[in-house]
Each structure stands twice: as C-alpha cells, then as structure tokens.
C-alpha cells in the first residue's frame, strides 16, 4: 500500500482554503487525515472531503502535531506567526501568502516551471502570486527557446482574488446599479461594478502597487533570471473568477507566432486557444473552474526586433492558488 499523509489546511473556510480541500479530493491526493484549521470564528464548523466530515479546529501553535503537509491560505500575518511552529512539528509548509516569497532561503515554486527549486527547501515552500503563476507557466517554454529580455504585462484581475466579500460586493453593486439604487463601496476604495480599478494592493513610493512589484520580483526568482526586465500594470475588473493578462514579450532571438504556439501546445498545463477568425481565444468565463492556463491572441510585435504579444487567462483560485499548492505537495511526494 502506498503511503498516506496527514494534511492541515490553514484558512480552511476561506475561498482558497475551501478550494484546496476540493482540489485534494478531486486529484485523489493520498491523505490519511485532513485537519481544517481557521480562526476561532470558524471553530466547530464542518467541512466535507470525500464524503467524510471534518470539524474545523482553531489554529494554535500546537495544531500541527502529526501533520506531514500544512497548506497555508490565511494571509501573511498568520503564516509568519504559525508556519515556524508547523515546521518545528515536522510538517512541510506550502504557503500561499506573500510572507516568504522573496526570502532567499525559501523556494518560490510553480511545478511546471521550476520543480528543481523544491530540493532547496528548509521546511517552507512559497506559492507565488496568482497573476505571476499563470504568466510564468505560459512564458517558461518560450524563455527556454528564445530567452525573454523584457516583459510588459497588464492584468485584468477578478474580484475573487480579494475573497468572498469582494465576490458578494460585485454581485450586490451590480444589482443596485441595475435597480437604480445608491451604492457604497466597502471592500474596494472605488465602485467595482461596471468599472475598472487600476489599484491592487497598496501604492509604493515608486508609483507602482505592491501587486505590480510582486509580478516583477517573483517572475525573476521563479525563472531564475535577474536579467529579465519586467514592468506591470495590475487592474481589478468586474469579473467574478479568472484573471486575464495582456503580455508583450521581447526576446533575444527570433521566435515566430507559429513556433510559440507549437511550444505552448506541448507544454504541461497550457491550452492554446488561438483561432481569432473563429472567435476562439481565452476568456475568463471559460477558464473559471478549470486547472489549465489558456493562451491565445499570439501575434508578432512589429515595434521591436524579436517581439510577441499574447493573451493569458487562468482561474486565479485554482491554478493561481489552491491547485499550485497541491501540485507542490504532489511533487514533494
């Protein structure tokens, strides 16, 4: 009989935590026991995995005895406080927050892109930002072939990236606008319904947001190439699930759109949808609930010597968070 593992999910009642539990079930992860952990507000609630019910326990320093893998999805503060206790108890931590991503001693991993980095872990493995994950999955085979010199990315990010409350806010605001009622933003600083907000996370002194700098810094670390120049503009859009990205690439050598399609079609985790004359291209509504990264609108950028443009779409809760974390655990097994 193959070995089975005890898995803790921290933040089990949140959007990403719930998706982690679903993903463990759907992928038949070889778990022996599931330990859902959350704040005292959720203590005593029940979650179901493979037909079995598990009571949500309050997260404490002693929550990780006997745990093999601890999947964290409760925010950077919780990760900084409790991940060391999980490691001390003998668990491998796979953390979805920003807490450890740029720590030189913590590998930042997308399994399709840099699985070799897992060998360097010291108990904690970081899950990258959702918008970074889907981009690097699509860029990896192209970088290996022609070396990317520069990336210009603009994102169109769904409200689910901000959690359940943001999904509810978009639905409520949409209803109020259609029924001519006044709205008061709560989750976001601005109205999100029928609007685009060029503001994700906090603004920094350099004029960029934290989200934009995450894309720059994390991409270089995952691709293990500090020479890649990255600039990003991240935008919140009135879409419930799935992030979309317009990506412009400059390469060191020639790469045609046909060659890019060939490389991407052969790469694990990528689906090429690129027949615009037939109205076939990636869209958020079709990517929602799917595991793959969808790529289309691949075309030459005639403004530079070796340039391509492309459109990348993926479910930010699935591949952008829960699935990537579970895939890391699978790789570790």
Measured from the Cβ of residue 157, the count of other Cβ atoms closer than 10 Å reads 25
Helix, strand, coil tally for the chain in percent (to 5): 35, 25, 40
CA distances from 188 to 108, 179, 211 (A): 29, 21, 15
For the domain spanning 5-128+321-332, the CATH number is 3.40.50.720
- Of 84, 200, 74, nearest in space to 127 by CA: 74
Would 5-128+321-332 and 132-316 be classified into the same CATH topology? Answer: no
pLDDT tens for the chain, 333 residues long, are 489 999 999 999 999 999 999 999 999 999 999 999 999 999 999 999 999 999 999 999 999 999 999 999 989 999 999 999 999 999 999 999 999 999 999 999 999 999 999 999 999 999 999 999 999 999 999 999 999 999 999 999 999 999 999 999 999 999 999 999 999 999 999 999 999 999 999 999 999 999 999 999 999 999 999 999 999 999 999 999 999 999 999 999 999 999 999 999 999 999 999 999 999 999 999 999 999 999 999 999 999 999 999 999 999 999 999 999 999 999 999
196 is known as an active-site residue? no
91 within 8 A of 70, measured Cβ to Cβ: yes
Look up the pTM and report it: 0.95
CATH topology of domain 132-316: Dihydrodipicolinate Reductase; domain 2 (3.30.360)
Parse the chain into domains and list their residue ranges: 5-128+321-332, 132-316
84 contacts: CB under 8 Å, gap ≥ 6? none
Rounded CA-CA distance 305/79 in Å is 44
Give the tokens for residue 42.
Answer: 């959720």
- Of 149, 168, 100, 159, nearest in space to 129 by CA: 100
Helical packing angle, 323-332 and 15-26, nearest 10°: 50
Active-site position among 130, 143, 196, 306: 130
Active-site position among 121, 143, 243, 306: 243
């Amino acid at each position: 009989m193959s070995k089975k593992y005890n898995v803790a999910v921290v933040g089990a009642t949140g959007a990403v935590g719930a998706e982690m539990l679903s993903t463990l079930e759907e992928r038949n992860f070889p778990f022996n026991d599931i330990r859902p952990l959350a704040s005292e507000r959720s203590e005593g609630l029940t979650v179901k995995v493979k037909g079995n019910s598990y009571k949500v326990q309050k997260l404490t320093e002693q929550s990780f005895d006997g745990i093999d893998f601890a999947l964290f999805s409760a925010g950077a503060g919780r990760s900084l406080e409790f991940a060391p206790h999980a490691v001390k108890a003998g668990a491998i931590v796979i953390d979805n927050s920003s807490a450890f991503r740029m720590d030189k001693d913590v590998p930042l991993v997308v399994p399709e892109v840099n699985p070799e980095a897992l060998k360097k872990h010291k108990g904690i493995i970081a899950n990258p930002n959702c918008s970074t994950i889907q981009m690097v999955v699509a860029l990896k085979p192209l970088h290996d072939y022609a070396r990317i010199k520069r990336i210009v990315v603009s994102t169109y990010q769904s409200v689910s990236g901000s959690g359940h409350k943001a999904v509810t806010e978009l639905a409520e605001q949409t209803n109020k606008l259609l029924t001519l009622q006044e709205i008061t933003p709560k989750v976001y600083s601005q109205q999100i319904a029928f609007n685009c907000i060029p503001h994700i996370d906090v603004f920094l002194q350099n004029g960029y947001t934290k989200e934009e700098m995450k894309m720059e810094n994390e991409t270089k670390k995952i691709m293990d190439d500090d020479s890649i120049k990255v600039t990003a503009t991240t935008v919140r859009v009135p879409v419930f699930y799935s992030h979309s990205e317009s990506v412009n690439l400059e390469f060191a050598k020639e790469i045609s759109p046909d060659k890019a399609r060939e490389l991407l079609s052969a790469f694990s985790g990528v689906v090429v949808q690129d027949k615009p004359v037939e109205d076939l291209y990636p869209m958020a509504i079709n990517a929602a609930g799917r595991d793959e990264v969808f790529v289309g609108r691949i075309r030459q950028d005639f403004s530079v010597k070796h340039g391509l443009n492309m459109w990348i779409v993926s479910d930010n809760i699935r591949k952008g968070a829960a699935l990537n974390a579970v895939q890391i655990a699978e790789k570790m097994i």
